[in-house]
Amino acid sequence: MYSLTKIKHQASVSLTRQVALLGHQERKTAARRLCNRSRMAAIYVKLDDHRLISSKESVKK
């Protein structure tokens, strides 16, 4: 399984490459898309942290 940071990095790299090929107007939408994507990745990371915490707590019990 991929680590989330690797997925996030690959997503931003591929989008950055696409952005380089686009014009200014499309660049804005691509930047917005990148923000949304990294926000989603941040949400996934939070979910994973929560899962880790809850599994640690169940181990303590």
CA-based nearest residue to 9, from 46, 29, 37? 37
Total count of domains within the chain? 1
End-to-end CA distance of the chain: give it in Å, rounded. Answer: 28
Print the domain residue range for 24.
4-60
Express each pLDDT in 1-58 by its tens digit. 556 677 666 666 676 666 566 566 666 676 677 767 766 666 666 666 666 555 555 5
DSSP-derived 3-state class of residue 61: coil
- Give the predicted TM-score (pTM) of the model: 0.26
The pLDDT of residue 19:
59
The pLDDT of residue 41: 66
